[in-house]
Amino acid sequence: MALAVGLMSTTAIAQSPAASSPTVHPTPQSMQLDLEKMFHTRSPWRLVVIEGMPVKDYGENDAPGALTLCLQRGPTGPCLSDPVTPPLRAPTPDYAIAWEPHYLLTAKVVYPQGPKAAPLLLLVTGSLNSGDGDQIVATQLLDYDSGHDEFRRVYRKSTGHNNNQEIRFIADGPLRGSVITAEPQEHPPYGYWIVVNTLSRAGAYRQVLRYRSATRYNDGNTLAVIDSEMPNIERQLGLWKPGEPLPTPSAGDGKPCIKPTLRHSALWCE
């Protein structure tokens, strides 16, 4: 369920430059999303996103202003994310400067344990373009604690994207509710670190798998790294065995992969 159904204003935040040309507004814009019905909160919680004045990105292109993301308990409540880190500042990787979020890429309710279990709020933001095509993409997941009537962050991670990095929330299938990351290694043979985090019974995400990928950078595989590594991920977690039907990812154009094959344990789409 997308949070767009809870819009309380008529203005949408500009999307990622990778998806479309950003719309630059002459004055700050804002949007509000009602969380009360979606999470059955005791107080009228809402997500508030405020866009600052337009700026130039690092390539001197027009870009939307920095975003401020807040969780508010009603229209006059303070800007909060959790008891420790207000507001919802996007985390940055160790190697990056502290780029602010300028694009709201995703804001939706997800169900890591199925539609009858408690949902999470998934937020994905993007920084300005660095000038060489890179961008810091930050992913956060928050749950609602009804006992304390507050939201708390249960996962956060950020990475770049111009070396095929990715942070992906898995919405369905045997890994439903997991978050998988693929980040490039700095030394030959230039593969990727694949990390899988799953939601524990305590309500927090914890790492259950980390390994060096069979997929190599610039190897000609048209699949996303996480898709090409899915047989390895599921095998190491006991969810798939050689000889069973292969996972069927998208071919990269939104269509299913008709003929998935394995090459050196990585999945390819023929």
Whether 70 and 94 share a structural domain: yes
One domain, residues 176 and 146: no
Q: Which residues pair with 120 in a beta bridge?
A: 110
Does 110 share its domain with 157? yes
Whether 146 and 169 map to the same domain: the answer is no
Query: Of 189, 194, 179, 186, which is closest to residue 236 (Cα–Cα)?
Result: 194
Query: What's the pLDDT band for 205 if we cut at 50, 70, 90?
Result: very high
Single out the residue in 128, 162, 196 at which a domain terminates. 162
**Both 32 and 119 in a single domain?**
yes
- 101 and 43, same domain (yes or no): yes
| Residue range(s) defining the domain that contains residue 132 | 1-162
Which range among 4-18, 147-161, 256-270 shows the weakest confidence by mean pLDDT?
4-18
Same domain, 185 and 94: no
Answer with the one of 138, 162, 186 that is the final residue of a domain: 162
E strands of the chain, at which residues?
Answer: 29-34, 45-51, 55-56, 62-63, 67-73, 103-110, 120-126, 137-145, 150-159, 166-169, 179-184, 192-199, 205-212, 260-263, 266-269
For residue 10, pLDDT beyond 50: no
pLDDT at 208: 97
pLDDT for residue 76 is more than 90: no
| Residues 68 and 170 both lie in one domain | no
Same domain for 130 and 169: no
Residue 19: its pLDDT value, please? 41
Half-sphere exposure of 190 (CA within 13 A, CB side): 6
pLDDT band at 12 (very low <50, low <70, confident <90, very high): very low
Q: Is 50 exceeded by the pLDDT of residue 148?
A: yes
Q: Are 50 and 40 in contact (CB under 8 A)?
A: no
* CB burial of residue 140 (10 Å; 0-12, 13-18, 19+): buried
211, 230 in Cβ contact below 8 A?
no
Across 18-32, average pLDDT: 53
Rounded mean pLDDT, 201-230: 93
Q: Are residues 171 and 112 in the same domain?
A: no
Q: For residue 3, is pLDDT > 50?
A: no
Domain count, the chain: 2
Report the pLDDT value the prediction gives residue 250, as an integer from 0 to 100.
60
Query: Does one domain contain both 157 and 215?
Result: no
Q: Which residue, chain included where needed, has tokens 């980040």?
A: 183
Least confident of 13-17, 127-131, 166-170: 13-17
Residue with tokens 């190897």: 219
Q: Are residues 110 and 125 in the same domain?
A: yes
CB 133 within 8 A of CB 108: no
Of 162, 177, 205, the residue that ends a domain is 162
Are 202 and 248 in contact, with CB atoms under 8 Å apart?
no
pLDDT tens digits for range 162-185: 889 999 999 999 999 999 999 999
pTM assigned to the model: 0.83
